Every structure is written in structure tokens, then in C-alpha cells.
Amino acid sequence: MEHLIEQDIKASKTIQKLAPYSWGGAPTYETSQRTLYQLVGHPCVYDQQGQRVDVIERPPVLHLSEADGELRLVIEPERNSGHYQSELDEVNRRVNVTHFTAAHRRIDDVIPASGLLLPSNANDRLHVLLNALTGDISVQGDTDVTDDSLIDGDTEPLLAIEPFGSSLRVRIRVEPLPSSGTFFDAGTGGSVVYVPGPTGSMSVQRNLTAENSRVQDMVMQSSVLTAHYDGRAHLVLDNTLEALELLEQAQQAGIRCLWPEDMPFRIKAQVTVKQVNLTIKSGKDWFAASGNLAVGDSEDALPLERLLQLMADQPGTRFIELGNGEFLSLSSTLKQQLDTLQAFSRPVRGDSTTLQTHPMALLALDSLIENATVKADKSWKLLRQQFPAS
């Protein structure tokens, strides 16, 4: 069944077939919380009203707080029973699903639902405990058990990007301890986090206000983020072209991005007018143009006629699909100039590699002619002198 995606296949394996209640009755099928967990990241999950909801994984967190001279450890969300549980967030139209692994369940078995209370002078013992647990569960909170070891966290936001059907799911995150591989949603969560390090757990002070401020600065650098960001750390880009625009804007702005190796599409290259190579020969009433667009190495040069055909097949966008999920990003000027060239041209009969272009095109192709690498005959140069650059 080719239309099924990975989440469909995994979820289908969790559905149980129940025998009919009576002779001749039809069997019934039952789903579970595990079924919902297998739908995490599925692009097409809808509620009873037909509205799309996001299914998000929410790993359990061991939260540390201090009040009235006592330290309190509690697991969030509170575990009810079983290995999986979910919570509907109607405001944000998403379902948060938590998977309690065997390690999580062992920790939960020794921590009461109301929390584990410890005297404030038990810092040293608690620090040893947290150091042992950070490899199994994320630890964060509002206080630190060893103030002398608290380090300031990095507040720079990044974009964690993953495939979402034919589009992208984007998560705005931070990595408080650089190069640790431990990430948190930017601007939310505990102000102190415990991050596994090469020598054990390290307590990191997050500045949530600074994180939010830097998120706002990052959003202002991208028209796509500006259009979609609503204050939440998650956003989905349904339009492939918008996803490509975001990838390019992030690269140009120096925004750090994380994405899996199996991304369904990527920008192979960003190209400008300067990467066009033109050969021009004059005729009686037309001039003949041929050439290519240099894309990286010379062997990747794209013939001009092939580029124009791809543009004709994909009108209205400067992102040209080359195949196998690879796209070429044309600068706005290059796209406009190639559109003009195509409007004034037609294929030469018997020569599919050459375009027959009307001399009037000279009036609108200044940028292309002035910036491209052009090889032309003497007649063309004389013709060009009759049309001064505007």
C-alpha cells in the first residue's frame, strides 16, 4: 500500500482485533495509547470536527523545585498507568503523548505522585542522585542544588527541522550547554536544567527572557517565520515552497539548523546572473542564444534550454525542482531575466540547444548581458552598441 507512510504502518501494528460478542457478529478493532504514540509527527491526524491536530511527543521530565526550605522532585506529566499516555491541548490543537520507558517507570515507582520531599541541606546527596539520573530522564527545574557549579546557558535559538509529509515541521529550540546534544524548547521549561556531560551531570542556568528575546530577533530575519510564528515553539509549513524559502533565509541569516539525513528535499545551490554562460550569434532579424548555468562543478552545468523548460513547467516560483528532491534557488534578478529571455525567444528549428531571440529583448536584458559570461561575434557587438544600457 504505497499511500501509507511510516507512522501509518507503525500505528496499524498496534491495533487489536477483538472477537465478536455473539455468534455471527462482526469483529471489532481497538486502538490504544500506544497507537496514538506511533502517530507522532503524522501530517494528517484530524479530530471529530475534521480539524487537523498535531501529535507531539512529550518526554517525561524530572522537575526540581524549592519552597519553604524543602526540595521537591516530581515527574511531569504525572503517570497514570501503562507505558503510554496522552493529553489533549485544545488551545494549541495538539495531542501531547508521553512514552514512559522502563527506566522512566523505575524512577516513577520510587517517586510519589505528590513529589519526593527532601530537606534543603540534602543538596550533596541530591546532586549525586541527579547526576545518576540525567542519562535516563531529562532533569530541569527552578533551582540548583549546587550553586557553585551552576553555569550560564547559551541563549542562541536554533531551528530543528524534520519532514512532515510533503512539508516541514519546525521546532524552535536552544542547546543550553553547547555541543551536548541536549535541547529544549526556547523560552519555556525550567530555568535550571541538568545536562549530561563527559564528567557527569552539569547544572545550567537558562535565561528564559533572553531566549525569548533572541527568538524574536531570529523571527525578524525571516519573512517565513514572521508569517507563521505565533509565540509557540512548534510550527508547520504546509507549502513546500515556503519550506524552501525558510531553508534559504536561515542559511543567509546564519541561523543554525538541525535536520535529519532523510530530508525529502534540499536546496542544491543558490545561483545568480553571474553564473550564466551565454554564446550569442547574430542573424538577419534574430540572434541565436545558447549556453548554460554553472551549478557548482563544471560537470553540473545545466543547459540553458533545459533550465528554461524547467521554469516553464514550474511557473511562478524561483525554486526549480531538478529531481530526486533537489531544488535550484534562482536569485530574483536571474528569474526575472530568464523569464524575459523566454518571452522573447523560440527554439531554433532542428537545433534544440539554441534559442532564436528577438533583438527587442536587448532592451530588457541588461542585467543578464552585463553580468553573465558572454561570448559573441562581431555583428552582435555592433548590434549591442545600438541599444545602450538603460
CA dihedral 339, 307, 283, 369 (to 10 degrees): 60
Is 80 exceeded by the pLDDT of residue 326? Answer: yes
pLDDT-derived band at 234, boundaries 50, 70, 90: confident
* C-alpha span between 298 and 293 (Å, rounded): 9
Tell me what pLDDT residue 172 has.
95
Is 90 exceeded by the pLDDT of residue 256? Answer: yes
- Encode pLDDT of 285-311 as tens digits: 788 888 899 987 656 789 998 999 999
Given a contact cutoff of 8 angstroms between Cβ atoms, the answer to whether 41 and 24 are in contact is no
- pLDDT over 90 percentage in the chain: 32
Given a contact cutoff of 8 angstroms between Cβ atoms, the answer to whether 237 and 226 are in contact is no
* C-alpha span between 205 and 128 (Å, rounded): 18
- Encode pLDDT of 149-181 as tens digits: 678 999 999 999 887 766 678 999 999 999 888
Could you tell me the residue ranges of all domains in the chain? Answer: 52-258, 271-385
The per-residue pLDDT of the chain, averaged, comes to 85
Is 90 exceeded by the pLDDT of residue 215? Answer: yes
- Encode pLDDT of 2-19 as tens digits: 778 888 889 999 998 887
pLDDT-derived band at 262, boundaries 50, 70, 90: low
Q: How many CB atoms lie within 10 A of CB 378?
A: 8
Ranking 85-94, 215-224, 346-355 by mean pLDDT, the lowest is: 346-355
Whole-structure pTM value: 0.73
pLDDT-derived band at 146, boundaries 50, 70, 90: low
- pLDDT over 70 percentage in the chain: 92
* C-alpha span between 330 and 273 (Å, rounded): 9
Is 90 exceeded by the pLDDT of residue 216? Answer: yes
Angle, CA of 157, 218 and 250, to the nearest 5°: 90
Tell me what pLDDT residue 145 has.
57
> Which amino acid, 188?
T
Cα-Cα end-to-end distance for the chain: 59
If one compares 214 and 324, the residue with the highest pLDDT of the two is 214
Tell me what pLDDT residue 1 has.
67
Range 42-52 average pLDDT: 86
| Largest distance between two CA atoms of the chain | 95
- Encode pLDDT of 52-111 as tens digits: 888 888 999 988 888 787 888 899 999 988 899 999 888 888 899 999 999 999 989 888
- Encode pLDDT of 21-31 as tens digits: 777 678 888 98
Is 80 exceeded by the pLDDT of residue 130? Answer: no
Q: Is 97 exposed, middle or buried (0-12, 13-18, 19+ CB in 10 A)?
A: buried
pLDDT-derived band at 148, boundaries 50, 70, 90: low
